[in-house]
Amino acid sequence: MNRQAYNSDSPAAEAPGEPRARQAVGSALLRPVQPEDAEGIHALLVAGLPDVPADGERWRARWSWQYWSNPYRGDRPAGWVLADGDRITGHLGAVYIPLRVGDERVTGVVGADYVVADDALARGGVFAGLQLAEAFFSTAKDCVAMATTANEKTGAVFSRFGCQPVLWTRQFWRAPASLTQQIRACRSATSRVVRRLLCSRAGFVVSGALGRCYRYLHYGPAVPIPVGCRLETTVPQLAGDLGWIWEGFAWGSTEMNPGDHDRTGKESAGVQRTQSPGAGVVGIDRTQAYLGWRYGRHPERENIRVLVLRDRDGHPIGAAVVFLDERKTRRTAFVEELITLPDRIEAVHTLLCAALKLACDHDADYLVTTPGRRAIRHVFRELGFEPRARSAPAVVMQPPLSMTATREDTPAAPFPDDDLDFWHGEMF
């Protein structure tokens, strides 16, 4: 897929084409990342970015997995650096991921760990950062380029190369991992009447009374599980059928009438999808190969749990991947993926309540997730999650060519950000 990566307003657009492997930028040299750059890149990231692990061994294991053991990179560069002698003064990594754009499979590339040292900016100005971006986009012409932990500066630079912000990623959802929150979520999921009661002024009093009862009985609210189903918790190495959920259930949207699914979630005989799987949707292609790399080979996979909801025959009908992140000052649980058909709302309720209970059991402070698809965003508010704002959209990306106008006399459609199936696990 050929892509136009340059914008005429960008200084980098003056010389389109493949960047030279070694190019001088002031006193620094622009070149592809090499494995031996690890120590210098880590020192740069710790000084310039928040939440980068100070533990060099922990960071190196993740860096090696994310960039060098990435099965989707092929022979492409793992990113670009500015090197001033033995010192790394700038870095923009390239993390390759599989994407589905409607029915088309393409490769995406995430610009990650984008930072330039202050003294390098003082000498080279904004141009130093633009040179890294030029190199990144020049080698990403056959990919859909994006940044998934973007701040205002990253968003501004990437916009020069045709990327657009995904506006709903200005927001994420957070719930305290507490007994009171468990009560609200689990009880709200089972009854609309109870949901309205708990959301009313009297809801705080009711939740408090229930909480005191549960504490006295040394018991917690049960996770709501649909009749005939069972919930299991496993580790990602043993979750060998998540790709089947993605291919068989979760990919794409269907327009069906109520009753078109039986109690196991399978389509009734004779029911036809009214549109092709994945029509109009952009998302990670969550094949078993991708999920096996992303979670089964993650260097911190001992902190990952997979919640799987199965029907009476043992077939998976939904799953959530939860990452338990522990830092010096906080413990946070992240819903990395939630894979289920949007119209299986009861499965979404079950998986989010189970994720909240898991977070509580591991003494996390909060359960955090992105809004996910538009079709299920209302569930977070129903279960008591609170929306939190970011200073800038977390995701900026190039609109895939197949989702823009192909005729010259037809204006290009706006970026379909509501059709982006995106979860916390795609953030690099």
- Helix, strand or coil, per DSSP, at residue 352: helix
Query: Tens digits of per-residue pLDDT, 216-258?
Result: 666 678 899 999 999 999 999 998 888 888 876 545 443 333 3
Query: Tens digits of per-residue pLDDT, 288-331?
Result: 999 999 999 999 999 999 999 999 999 888 999 999 998 778 89
Domains and CATH numbers, the chain: 11-166+393-426 (3.40.630.30), 172-389 (3.40.630.30)
CA distance 122 to 125: 6
Amino acid identity, residue 290?
Answer: Y
Low-confidence ranges of the chain (pLDDT < 70): 1-27, 124-126, 189-212, 214-219, 248-280, 342-343, 401-418
The phi and psi torsions of 165 (rounded to 5 degrees) equal -75, 145
Cβ–Cβ under 8 Å, residues 147 and 110 = yes
What's the distance, Cα to Cα, between the start and end of the chain in Å? 23
- Helix, strand or coil, per DSSP, at residue 390: coil
Amino acid identity, residue 89?
Answer: T
Q: Where are the alpha helices (DSSP H) in 163-274?
A: 179-190, 192-199, 203-217, 242-245
Q: Please, which residues have CB within 8 angstroms of residue 194's CB and are 6 or more apart in sequence?
A: 187, 188
Among positive and negative, which fits the CA dihedral 359, 361, 362, 364? positive
Among positive and negative, which fits the CA dihedral 408, 413, 414, 417? negative
HEC profile of 303-324? HEEEEEEECCCCCEEEEEEEEE
CA distance 6 to 265: 46
- Quick one: residue 355, left, alpha or beta (phi over 0 = left, psi -120 to 50 = alpha)? alpha
Query: Tens digits of per-residue pLDDT, 266-296?
Result: 433 333 333 344 445 778 899 999 999 999 9
